[in-house]
Amino acid sequence: MLEDLDLPELVYSKDKSAFENGLSHGEQYKDAIRDLANIRRDLMLRKNPALKTSISPLAKEQLLATKAFCPDSALELEGIAKGANLSIEDIIILNNYTDFRDITLPDEGCTSIYSSLSGSSVSGQTWDMHESAKNFLCVIKEEDKVVFSLVGCLGLMGVNKHGLFIGVNNINTTDAKVGIVWPALVRHALQVNSLDSMRSLITRAEVTSGHNYLISDKSQGEHWEITPSVKGLVSKASLNDKKTIFHTNHCLNKDVIAIEDSASISSTTHARFEICNKYENQINDVTSMEAFLKSHENHPKSICSHYNSGVQDPSMTCGGAVFDSATMKLKLWKGCEEFDSNYKDRTYNLGEL
């Protein structure tokens, strides 16, 4: 077992450029970033050995696409690479390894939920990944946002000072192509100050492969399935609707279903979706949402997933988050509170940024 970083907080300075903050990030956690990059390269090539000769050109193309769409994110990636004394190829793989063209890795799952039942806008998700990722989780704190991430990565989900939340869970589609690295889209989306702007950003982004994006503000939430060729609204809810909407890892929008790669669907997605269906009317505030995301009904194929089926689909819940826009409080956690001895959480008040 590699060293547990214990959910460190990386504080980015407003007085430094994106490259300089990335450089500090890379220097501070160079050994861990190298370990994670090696693990992810190995996982990718184990799944598709034929990809070995095309990794470098694909990584360069993804970097160029990212530079064109969100230059600061690309500069931060270059800073991380330099600070960690790794190639930019290594850092692109670390950030985007499930999204390389001609490869499908169903081990990144996740359950994302939005609820307005209590009259407050509450959002949350689990992060289901290869279990090796858990010890590398971190928090990136900037002057206007807090981002849940992995060392060496731009971000998995986050919230900004305007109360805008963005979360991501994986879907598998057949239309993958070279595009931006999706963690760059997460970070870039947190630069805006309205849900309309966030929606516009994610629906025009030239992405590499399919993901579901949960976006929300203080009055509404939306699930969008975004692929290179289709941008489809799945569900939405407002404070007036007073309901819960959720997503696991199979496609729900009819146009996206048409291009779904059924052979690569997460083996736990339907079981988790049924649990969401069963309890949707009981997820009515941030406390019940957190409890639900940490729950173990139908273990090991539970919302807090402990299902490790080996090489084909080795997915486990490595962490999670909940955000209540009424209080502006974000809680992030690493591991499983019930079964892990190294569980840790952090709470942030975005209203104080």
State the average pLDDT for the chain. 94
On the question of pLDDT at 142 being above 70, the answer is yes
Give the mean model confidence (pLDDT) for residues 186-192.
Answer: 98
What is the rounded CA–CA span in Å between residue 65 and residue 168? 20
Residue 350's φ and ψ, nearest 5 degrees, are -70, -20
pLDDT of residue 6: 97
> 30-47 and 71-84 are packed helices; what angle lies between their axes, rounded to 10 degrees?
110
Decide which of 3.10.20.600, 2.160.10.10, 3.30.470.160, 3.60.60.10 is the CATH code for 112-352. Answer: 3.60.60.10
- pLDDT of residue 146 exceeding 70, the answer is yes
Beta bridge partners of 217: none
Q: Residue 43 — very low, low, confident or very high, per pLDDT cuts 50/70/90?
A: confident
**3-state class of 213 per DSSP?**
strand
**Is 120 a residue whose pLDDT tops 50?**
yes
The mean pLDDT value for 169-186 works out to: 94
Quick one: pLDDT at residue 1?
Answer: 45
Half-sphere exposure at residue 282, Cβ-oriented, CA atoms within 13 angstroms? 10
- Residue ranges per structural domain of the chain: 9-99, 112-352
pLDDT at 311: 42
State pTM to two decimals: 0.96
Share of the chain above pLDDT 70, in %: 95
Q: Length of the chain in residues, anyone?
A: 353
Asked if 100 contacts 226 with a C-beta cutoff of 8 angstroms, the reply is: no
Confidence of residue 49 (pLDDT cuts 50, 70, 90): confident
Token look-up 């941030």 returns 286
pLDDT at 336 over 70: yes
Would you state the CATH architecture of domain 9-99?
Orthogonal Bundle (1.10)
pLDDT band at 153 (very low <50, low <70, confident <90, very high): very high
One-letter amino acid identity for 231? Answer: K
Mind listing the pLDDT tens digit for each residue in 257-277?
A: 999 998 888 889 999 999 999
pLDDT at 105: 54
Residue 23 burial (CB < 10 Å; 0-12/13-18/19+)?
buried
Residue 109 has pLDDT above 80, yes or no: no
